[in-house]
A and B are shown apart, each in its own frame.
Chain A
Amino acid sequence: MMIWIVFAIMTAAVIAVLLSPVVKARPLAQGQDRNAFDRAIFRDQLAELDRDVERGAIAPAEADAARNEISRRLIAATAPPHASRPLGTPSMALLAALIVPAVALPLYLKAGSPQLPDMPLSTRLENATETGDYEAMIVRVEKHLAQNQDDVEGWKVLAPAYRRAMRWADAAEAERNILRLSGPTANGLADYGEAMVMANQGTVSAEAHEVFRKALGLDAKLPKARFYAALALKQEGKSAEAKAAFEAFLADTPADAPWRDMLLAEMNDAVARPPALDQQTMKDAASMSPEDQQAMIRSMVDGLEEKLKANGDDLQGWLRLIRARGVLGDAGKAKLAYDTAKSQFKDNPEALAALDGLAQEMKIP
């Protein structure tokens, strides 16, 4: 509301200034006659000529010729002034001034965003806590930590914040700092490893696997670490070990544990790794001959490829596709998928890094 009052005042002020000459209009005391302007200039030219002659800057003969010419023009410019015209009616100017709001209002309604407040960075950061501005709070803590790298409390605030914002690489960095400052704990290691996995698009790197092993060394029953350690085994192709690890984990998992569903899904997935299949298909696949199984998997991979062609923004999908092609031994198609994905995400360095990482792992040139 406030803003509309301001706009109304602005508009009124503009119209007032615009029309001020109409209100205080008086007949022109001078200059009604346009020739008067010309005469003034010709007189000035004559005066300049005289000065030039006095300084000796111009030859007398030339000066005379010039003087003649200017004088001729001066005389020519002494035509009688026009009959003075009447002043216009103020009402017309008033009417015309309505042009201004008539143009401005619809344009502003089309282009403006009167409801949006200003968001200068500094006030935004200051008021972050009051307004619950999550991004701003993160920046505040980041700024603080840039100065005090050893403030573990700060990192402890940041780590979950980064997780919530899905900034996994930053989250991993924060967790690493927490470990550095407060020593390794099973939970801390597991969180660090998880952030690394997430930053790596769901792939457990060897480094991350090592972290989970350490975590399990501190607490062998820690669910998160167990889950990812099993996942790592699965991704490393050690299906039997992975299956064993998942089953042992499942045995220890209470029926109402929130991660139970995820665990079951991964467990079933562990059997036929490339593309993730739903349980019904898995059952069907289990009863097929190996050739048929291969054929089915291939057709599903092709289906995945079609889907990605239609909607190429799915990085996880691309990673799955490349991996699947690689596992199925289709080096050519894997390379093609990799190249296509690369051009797809050429503006996204994180995605490119993930793709390159996978390509290295799968030995795609």
Chain B
Amino acid sequence: MTRKQKRLTMILGGLAVIGLAIGIILYALSGTITFFHTPSDLTATGVKPGQRIRLGGMVEDGSVKKGTGTETTFAVTDQIKTITVSYNGILPDLFREGQGVVTEGSLKEDGTFVADTVLAKHDENYMPRELAESLKEKGVKLGKGADQ
């Protein structure tokens, strides 16, 4: 192989690796991302049952019901629509009624949501960014001076 050929093989090989990797990345992006919804746009966008999504909102006051064992159901609301979420597992430390929550899972045929992951805010000031923005768009004011 001449010097030029050598260089060419190496460059082509390198490009092939990069191309392949980008292919994988694009494929993964189309297949593995989960969309974030609030209860009201969940119905608006027509998410099919079984599709994996993230559902975020506030835990409605008085909606948390402990079932037998480790089952819990609660309602997630964005003040416009409310969706009942059932979850089997241990709720995070900071899960509280009236606080922001993000759950991951899928809708059932009957319109309730089955979550396998529940994330609560990490500290006093933290609210999932997408949640804060979604709620703001819908005119739900957050924090001090909120008068519904």
Contacts and interface: CB of A to CB of B under 8 A. Distances in A.
Nearest to A309: B147
B144 A344 contact: yes
A336 B148 CA distance: 9
Contacts of B148: 336, 339-340, 343
Contacts of A336: 148
B146 interface: yes
Q: Decide if the interface of chain B is mainly helix, strand, loop or mixed.
A: loop
Contacts of A312: 145, 147
A344 B145 CA distance: 6
Contacts of B145: 312, 344
A365 to B, nearest CB: 9
B145, B147, B148: residue with the most chain A Cβ atoms closer than 10 Å: B147
Interface string A335-365: 0100110011001000000000000000000
A339 B98 CA distance: 11
Q: Decide if the interface of chain A is mainly helix, strand, loop or mixed.
A: helix
Interface in A72-99: none
A339 B145 CA distance: 12
Chain A, interface size category, equals under 10
A123 B144 CA distance: 37
B84 to A, nearest CB: 20
Interface in B35-77: none
A339 B97 CA distance: 14
Contacts of B146: 340, 343-344
Contacts of B147: 309, 312, 340, 343-344
Contacts of A347: 144
A238 B131 CA distance: 50
Interface string B106-148: 0000000000000000000000000000000000000011111
Interface in A298-357: 309, 312, 336, 339-340, 343-344, 347
A347 to B, nearest CB: 8
Contacts of B144: 344, 347
A294 to B, nearest CB: 26
Nearest to A340: B147
A309 B146 CA distance: 10
A336 B145 CA distance: 14
A347 B144 CA distance: 9
B61 to A, nearest CB: 9
B101 to A, nearest CB: 16
A312 B145 CA distance: 7
A318 B29 CA distance: 51
B123 to A, nearest CB: 13
Nearest to B147: A340
A344 B146 CA distance: 6
Contacts of A309: 147
A340 B146 CA distance: 7
A347 B146 CA distance: 13
Nearest to A343: B146
A85 to B, nearest CB: 40
Interface string A12-32: 000000000000000000000
Nearest to B142: A343
A347 B145 CA distance: 12
B63 to A, nearest CB: 14
A293 to B, nearest CB: 29
Interface string A212-232: 000000000000000000000
Nearest to A342: B98
Nearest to B62: A365
A31 B145 CA distance: 68
A339 B144 CA distance: 13
Contacts of A344: 144-147
A349 B59 CA distance: 20
Nearest to A336: B148
Interface string A198-211: 00000000000000
Nearest to B141: A343
Nearest to B99: A346
Interface of B: 144-148
Interface of A: 309, 312, 336, 339-340, 343-344, 347
Complex A-B, nearest 7 residue pairs according to Cβ-Cβ distance, in ascending order: A343-B146, A340-B147, A312-B145, A309-B147, A340-B148, A339-B148, A344-B144
Given A336-B148, A343-B146, A347-B144, 13 more contacts: A309-B147, A312-B145, A312-B147, A339-B148, A340-B146, A340-B147, A340-B148, A343-B147, A343-B148, A344-B144, A344-B145, A344-B146, A344-B147
5 contacts: A343-B147, A344-B144, A344-B145, A344-B146, A347-B144
